[in-house]
Chains A and B, each alone.
Chain A
């Protein structure tokens, strides 16, 4: 091949690659922007289930690895600031931006740790997705799923979701009628009463560092 031909081929390849990337981006953008909340829940759940069933490190119970996966695959679909605001209530409104950030970070770690333990325990179950009942232009919906367990009453897992500029995000999970945010509201209120917002942050940090429950 001559020098000129090589140069030409390289330039073509370069241009083609950019074209391909541009096309991918174009194809992906509307798909993600318009992904319906129930479709999102289904896609993320299926991805998670596939990983649980195929990843050898997950099956070996490698907690650190499981936490990394949840952080990468699932956590981005949650609005942690809203969850923290809902759970901490008045204390959140009175907290400084710095306290709010630390609170949200610690709360997120706690939820990820809990979730990774749950995944480990409930790996043999199948999920059913119920059709979404919502107005087409709704910005706040509940996506309902059911965990089917042989010989037992199914357990419902519902996701409260809101529309944000970066897609639909969950701000509460309701398992069998038990709302995570409502549960933590009691816990947070109690900690704030005992030690203020900093006391709450400290309690969460201690919990994340592996302190046993009192």
Chain B
């Protein structure tokens, strides 16, 4: 766990540096650290492509689909717990009730979240996190960052991940081995879910760095506004 913490600290260092530097930045440029971020992106490509991706691909190819589904559901259930917390922090009582219903159903009847019973009953899955809550509270997104092994992020979302990392039930498991296995599985599960999108990205993008940045920022904006972002101005003739 100490190693995990150190990794988290290392991963968030650029975020903290950026936060300090970002205070001096005007609000117009979203990616003031583009040169540094592009280097991070290249590093990420090398490490991810040679080590992480082959491992994750093997997991996807050789683990029974039922097991993968159960692992995805397990971490999805933890996501739902955080959805409940963030629904409440954003003052969304109805959604909080709905997401709490999912957590109770899946934790109780779905063997600690391994089975998505609520999903089978068509209870829609919420999708709130601390980064979104900060956005709803009016905290600006801050500079865009690309962090090796973690991916695209803004300072605001990085803060959200930090809160979550410390608050996650996984962080409070006493058995170090079990905890590390769970963290690793969590990361593998997350990375596996991005494999398909990555194929599309490589097909679609002229410059994947730019494409990822714009997709990420658009997606986060959309989530903060719950699917109704203010219209962007069009640049047409």
- Interface of A toward B, CB cutoff 8 Å: 82, 85-86, 89-90, 92-93, 110, 113-114, 117-118, 121, 150-154, 156, 176-179, 182-183, 185-187, 190-191, 203-204, 207, 212-214
Contacts and interface: CB of A to CB of B under 8 A. Distances in A.
A122 B234 CA distance: 30
Contacts, number: 91
Interface in B204-227: 204-208, 210-211, 213-215, 218-219, 221-223, 227
A190 B206 CA distance: 10
A179 B206 contact: no
29 contacts: A85-B236, A85-B237, A86-B234, A89-B236, A92-B237, A93-B237, A117-B199, A151-B116, A152-B125, A153-B124, A153-B125, A153-B127, A176-B219, A177-B219, A177-B221, A177-B222, A177-B223, A178-B219, A178-B222, A182-B214, A183-B211, A183-B215, A186-B211, A187-B207, A190-B206, A191-B207, A207-B206, A212-B202, A214-B206
Nearest to A92: B237
Contacts of A207: 206
| CB-based closest 3 A-B pairs | A177-B222, A89-B235, A114-B204
A118 B199 CA distance: 9
B218 A203 contact: no
A114 B219 contact: no
Nearest to B116: A151
B181 interface: no
Contacts of A203: 206
Contact of B72 (A151, A204, A214): A151
Interface of B: 69, 72-73, 76, 116, 119, 124-127, 196, 199-200, 202-208, 210-211, 213-215, 218-219, 221-223, 227, 229, 232, 234-237
B125 to A, nearest CB: 5
Nearest to B229: A177
B215 A121 contact: no
Nearest to A176: B219
Given A151-B72, A182-B214, A114 B203 contact: yes
B214 A183 contact: yes
Contacts of B235: 86, 89-90, 185
Contacts of B221: 177
Contacts of B200: 114, 117-118, 121
A93 B237 CA distance: 7
Contacts of B215: 178, 183
A200 to B, nearest CB: 8
B229 A151 contact: no
A177 B203 contact: no
A80 B4 CA distance: 49
Contacts of A82: 236
Nearest to A156: B227
Given A85-B236, A89-B235, A176-B222, A204 B206 contact: yes
Given A121-B199, A176-B222, A187-B207, A182 B232 contact: yes
Contacts of A179: 218, 232
B214 to A, nearest CB: 5
Contacts of A214: 206-207
Contacts of B223: 177
Contacts of B214: 178, 182-183, 185-187
A110 B205 CA distance: 9
Given A92-B237, A177-B219, A154 B124 contact: yes
